[in-house]
Amino acid sequence: MSLAANDTHPDHGNLDRPESGAAAHDARHYPVAAPRDDVRGELTLAIDLRHAGRRVVRLRYRTLGDAALPAVFVAGGISAGRELVGDATVSGWWDAQVGQGRALDPARHRLVAFDWLGADGALDAVIDPADQADAIAALLSALGIERLSAFVGCSYGAMVGLQFAARHAERVGRVVAISGTHRAHPYASAWRALQRRALALGALQCDETHGLALARQFAILSYRTPEEFAARFGACEVVDGRVRAGAEDYLDHCGAAYSARTSTVAYQRLSESIDLQALEPESIGVPVTVVAVAEDRLVPVEDAYTLVERLRGETRLCVLRSKYGHDAFLKEEAEIARILSETFVDSDVGESAGTAANGGDAIGDGATATDVAGCNVAVAA
């Protein structure tokens, strides 16, 4: 594996510009220098993609926390990347969970994150979730991290975390899989197929930005729930001679904002990648905490039950109820923080976390959680 490394710091101007003449080397034997507490960096490496052969790719990563601390990899959905928490230059996608005194505290753990393979639109090829897991393994080797205490993944990140546990079991102590399982549900794949058709229609009309905006609007509908929309938006109105839905302004805003910052190629390839998730749960023997949302229409709770029943290792299942559906990992901040905090003990992942049970504690706005130890899963109403 060929790899060139470049560490950068928020104070160093262009964070993504590689150093001139960066040397190629094997990450297994020549890790990059020990990072500072908050470092952004970039690696160039050759990786064998399952469906597209050998490709040279660029990985942009960020680490938070001292190198001596237990390492935790954190990954979100296909729109999330290395910026877990915001600073003076960027906004973060998980500020509610990352930071001093929060569930993922850089004072207690060395947090590692990266931008997905294909996120910059430069890799126009089929990308498997397993490819992401292998890229993460290469990144960890370059950073001198032999083993993660935990892999915390949400949505697509949960899928990749499970792939990592199956393919690199010796390098991770536990996986926390939030709103993502061992497979892409056929109903969810149908949603995403329609989104990709919107991209194709945009391209045919020489208006890729509009196609991407429309695809994002379809995606928003799949992330959220009818209950939220009923409470949030009013009835249709006649505006300038046509009927306009109460949610259209919101959807238009979401589509425009997303298409302004996202590559159409990236959306196409990462959407496809979700649908390639197909993993045998029996291939995973490390402890796994599975977090599901009863109202999630993309990752049905039944798939979470199946995953827990089939995993070989110690398991814990938490089922939330939330009007935010698939987006609960972003919106139900207190509930997710509680689950993460219970998973992490002292400065490392607690080995006893997977056997705890809380008997259906009340959570937030009408939400409930059920923790299930072992593989005899009882469905909580």
Catalytic residues: 155, 296, 326
Query: How many Cβ atoms are within 10 Å of 236's Cβ, its own excluded?
Result: 13
Query: How does strand 175-178 pair with strand 150-154?
Result: parallel
**Residues near 226 by Cβ (< 8 Å), separated by ≥ 6?**
none
- Which token pair is 359? 């008997």
Any idea of the CA torsion for 189, 190, 196, 202, to the nearest 10 degrees? -160
- Which token pair is 290? 């599975």
Give the dihedral sign, CA 371/373/379/380.
negative
- Which token pair is 179? 């709103």
CA-to-CA distance for 46 and 335, rounded, in angstroms? 40
331-367 in b/e burial notation, b at 16+ Cβ within 10 A? bbbebbebbbebbbeeebbeeebbeeeeeeeebbeeb
Contacts 24+ apart (CB under 8 A), 200-207: 202/264, 203/264
150-171 in b/e burial notation, b at 16+ Cβ within 10 A? bbbbbbbbbbbbbbbbbbbeeb
CA-to-CA distance for 214 and 92, rounded, in angstroms? 24
Q: For the sheet with 315-320, list strands across it.
A: 24-25, 3-8, 38-49, 53-64, 110-114, 71-75, 150-154, 175-178, 288-293, 315-320, 372-373
**Cα 55 vs. chain centroid, distance in angstroms?**
23
102-125 in b/e burial notation, b at 16+ Cβ within 10 A? bbbbbebbbbbbbbbbbbbeebeb
